[in-house]
Amino acid sequence: MTALSVPARPEEDARLRPVPWRRMAWVTWRQHRFALGGMATLLGALALYLWLAGLQIHHAYTAEVTCHPASSGACGALVGDLLNYNSTAQLIASLLQAVPALIGAFVGAPVLARELETGTFRFAWTLGFGRWRWTLAKLVPLAVVVAATAGVFSLLFSWYFQPIFAEPTYNVVIPLDGLVFDLRGVAFAGWTLAAFAIGALAGMLIRRVVPAIAATLAVYAGLAVAVGMYLRQHYITPLLIKNLATTPSSALVLSQSWTKGGHPVSQSALVQVLQGAPQLAGKGGGGFPEIPSVNQYLIQHGYTLWTSYQPAGRFWPFQWIEGGWLLALSALLIAASAWLVRRRAA
């Protein structure tokens, strides 16, 4: 019996064993370590700034609260310093709105697009990875890392902004404000994960890195604007209060309107009514009537003020609602990317 006539052993006829998941995770790390390093550098630099600036804000808040008498010039100067910190904090919050979009564009979009663009995915599919496992090994670990990192960062941002929420005197930013709502709680992790999933799907559909980055930024911006302007305020039915004397300073006021006899009253009609009330003139600064006096006058003359608002106590229900549907959206987008990979011809 020669070597050529020896029958093949069963293990030689068996199919190649698939690559273990741990090795696939190692390959994913090797391929995307620079993107993850860039994300870590960006968030690390921002976290360092928030930590140093947060220490200053907390110190200024403590000094202002413990300053007595509150009417003294020294205490007034401390309030002025805290207002300056407030303005800076709002600017920082505005800049941080772009962080999830950048992560989605520069971490999520190239994950599949780079290999599809260069053609190296064919080599990966012949090494025992398989399309399905190849896609999951790329998207799932990166998605978990991105969401977990964003969640830790949001805790630091909440601590940084805490003194600004604590003092109602200069509380021009409220917890439900769109400027900071999606940077806190579970929403920031949800938005970052959604941006990553949008980028991954865009890369799969377009198969070019640069166009996928542009598409990710555009889609994310459109989604964020739509949620902030139209969807978020209706997660829970707003409270509708009649003739509310003072709206809670931390509440998100959605609308205010006047009616009389059950019928809406236009602003021009209200102006005509107030012009016939000279007793209101000059009660406010600069010769303008004070708002409470105007409201009281109109209410006394049969008008009704309707105020629609979301109370600050709904912050966490809103967070869980937004985080939940963002997680579901991200899972759907990742599943769609994996399905498209399986359907794609090599």
68-82 pLDDT, tens digit per residue, is: 787 777 777 777 777
Judge if 184 and 328 occupy the same domain: yes
Judge if 293 and 337 occupy the same domain: no
Judge if 123 and 192 occupy the same domain: yes
Q: What is the DSSP letter of 241?
A: E
* pLDDT tens digits along 79-97: 777 778 888 888 999 999 9
Does residue 339 lie within any of the structural domains?
Answer: yes
**pLDDT for the residue 16:** 53
The domain tally of the chain equals 2
Q: What is the mean pLDDT of the chain?
A: 83
Judge if 294 and 320 occupy the same domain: no
**pLDDT for the residue 8:** 44
Judge if 168 and 264 occupy the same domain: no
Does residue 6 lie within any of the structural domains?
Answer: no
Does residue 13 lie within any of the structural domains?
Answer: no
**C-alpha 122 chain-centroid distance:** 36
**pLDDT for the residue 131:** 74
**pLDDT for the residue 279:** 60
**pLDDT for the residue 9:** 46
Does residue 246 lie within any of the structural domains?
Answer: no
Least confident of 104-118, 265-279, 303-317: 265-279
Count CB-CB contacts under 10 A for residue 107: 24
Judge if 329 and 292 occupy the same domain: no
* pLDDT tens digits along 44-71: 999 999 999 999 988 888 888 788 787 7
CA distances (Å), 298 to each of 260, 265, 280, in order? 10, 11, 11
**pLDDT for the residue 198:** 97
pLDDT score of 3 more than 50: no
Domain extent at residue 51: 18-236+313-343
The residue ranges of DSSP E strands in 101-185, in sequence order, are: none
Does residue 102 lie within any of the structural domains?
Answer: yes
Among candidate residues 81, 74, 89, 77, the one with its CA nearest the CA of residue 60: 81
Judge if 171 and 267 occupy the same domain: no
Q: Where are the alpha helices (DSSP H) in the chain?
A: 10-13, 21-66, 73-96, 99-103, 109-118, 121-125, 131-166, 187-206, 209-226, 267-275, 291-300, 315-343
Sorting pLDDT into bands at 50, 70 and 90, what band is 167?
low
pLDDT score of 114 more than 50: yes
Least confident of 24-33, 221-230, 242-251: 24-33
Judge if 55 and 99 occupy the same domain: yes
Does residue 295 lie within any of the structural domains?
Answer: yes
pLDDT score of 345 more than 70: no
Does residue 119 lie within any of the structural domains?
Answer: yes
* C-alpha–C-alpha distance, residues 273 and 275, integer Å: 5
Judge if 146 and 295 occupy the same domain: no
Does residue 243 lie within any of the structural domains?
Answer: no
Among candidate residues 174, 43, 20, 27, the one with its CA nearest the CA of residue 96: 43
Judge if 301 and 321 occupy the same domain: no
Judge if 97 and 119 occupy the same domain: yes
> Percent of the chain at pLDDT above 90?
41
Judge if 159 and 272 occupy the same domain: no
